[in-house]
Amino acid sequence: MPADTSRGTIAAEAGVAKPDPILVADGVQRQFGGLRAVDVEHVEVQRGAITALIGPNGAGKTTFFNLLTGFDRPDTGEWTFDGRSLARVPAFKVARLGMVRTFQLTKALSRLTVMENMKLGATEQRGERFLSALLPPLWRSQERQIEQRADHLLQRFKLAHMRDEFAGSLSGGQRKLLEMARALMSRPQLIMLDEPMAGVNPALKQSLLDHVREVREDGTSVLFVEHDMDVVRDISDWVVVMAEGRIIAESAPEDIGRNQAVVDAYLGAHHDAALSFEEEERQLKSAEQAIAAQREEVQ
């Protein structure tokens, strides 16, 4: 794995350059009223590695995901995927280019069967065009191939026995598995998982972790958001830390706990010192400004 061999050479600092990045973001900003939800100066995601994106609640991780995948538009910023600029590219085109995401709240399509969910993931289906849909002989053979691939993936994700059940009858953890398997049906180059382990029981968690590793072995890059530090330490090759919309630190997973900026972000910069009068004044003022700005936005 390129990630493992080169990890030692990458400096543990925010926005550090990496060899062969698949995703590069520059100056991506997103403002919600007075709140700057995302303000990323520079970040690179390495190809062939598992990169974890962590940060306290409200750090802007999911918003950053939405921006990168075209589900939301940034106010400013440029980012490239595999050397191609993705600014103002709609979400469905981003997915077609090979950058596929999952959602924090799983979007297993309840009233479709597990198999139908899987088949939906396949790209460039002839039968998805309206006119050729009317002529089954045009797409039937392709459909069979897709079904075979789906069966194979379902087996790997231990969902084969649920093949013909409605996805709505799956447990929360199984839905996470299904969503990941469905995303893999499109043969992505980069898969972006938003909290893949949330709400998954420990037994299933272990197999999900194995799956994520397998995905990397198959040559797919992985970027995932996660709160569970054990998971992050366990499988990620590199960790990027966000707080208040910014990338505040990057490092190998073993060293992340020793990073002062990370500790401050999670526990507060002054967790061991009383606020000075001036500092309190300054914080109050900035809060008031934020509220005023929000009001203006509303009006």
Partner 1 sequence: MDWLTILQRTFTNAIGQEFIVYGLAAIGLNLHFGYTGLLNFGQVAFVAAGAYGVATVVATFSLPLWLGVLAGIALPLMLAALLGIPTLRLRADYLAIVTIAGSEIVRLVARSPSLRSITNGSYGLSQFGGDFYALNPIPDGRYGIWRITFDANATWYLLVGWTLVALATLLILVLIRSPWGRVLKSIREDEDAPRSLGKNVYVYKLQSLAVGGVIAAFGGIMFAIGSQSVQPDNYGTPLTFFAYCALILGGMARVGGPVIGAAMFWGLLAFTENTLRNAVEAGYIPSGLMDTVQVGQVRFMLVGLGLMLLMIFRPQGVFGDKRELALDAR
Q: Nearest CA to 262 among 247, 275, 274?
A: 247
Q: Nearest CA to 232 among 209, 199, 215?
A: 209
Task: State which residue, 106 or 259, has the beta carbon closest to partner 1.
Answer: 106
Task: State which residue, 138 or 252, has the beta carbon closest to partner 1.
Answer: 138
Q: Residue 109, interface with partner 1 (CB under 8 A)?
A: yes
Q: Residue 212, interface with partner 1 (CB under 8 A)?
A: no
Task: State which residue, 14 or 100, has the beta carbon closest to partner 1.
Answer: 100
- The position carrying tokens 């994106």 is 53
Report yes or no: 54 and 60 within 8 Å, Cβ to Cβ: no
Q: Residue 246, interface with partner 1 (CB under 8 A)?
A: no
Minimal distance, residue 189 CB to partner 1, in Å: 13
Span near partner 1 by CB under 8 A; candidates 50-58, 116-124, 196-204, 206-214? 116-124
Q: Nearest CA to 69 among 180, 196, 243, 194?
A: 194
Which position among 166, 228, 234, 293 is part of the footprint of partner 1 (CB under 8 A)?
166
The binding track of 169-188 with respect to partner 1, each residue x by CB under 8 A or -, is x------------xx-xx--
Q: Residue 108, interface with partner 1 (CB under 8 A)?
A: yes
Q: Which residues pair with 118 in a beta bridge?
A: none
Span near partner 1 by CB under 8 A; candidates 48-56, 90-98, 210-218, 249-257? 90-98
Report yes or no: 44 and 18 within 8 Å, Cβ to Cβ: yes
Report yes or no: 174 and 118 within 8 Å, Cβ to Cβ: no
Minimal distance, residue 87 CB to partner 1, in Å: 18
Residue type at position 299: Q
Minimal distance, residue 192 CB to partner 1, in Å: 9
Residue 58: is it exposed, middle or buried by C-beta count within 10 angstroms (0-12/13-18/19+)? Answer: middle
Which position among 91, 229, 252, 290 is part of the footprint of partner 1 (CB under 8 A)?
91
Coil vs helix vs strand at 193: strand
Cβ-Cβ contacts under 8 Å for 230 (sequence gap 6 or more): none
Residue 145 CA to chain centroid, in angstroms?
A: 28
Binding site for partner 1 (CB under 8 A): 69, 71, 90-93, 95-96, 100-103, 107-112, 116-117, 119-121, 123, 125-130, 133-134, 136, 139, 143, 166, 168-169, 182-183, 185-186
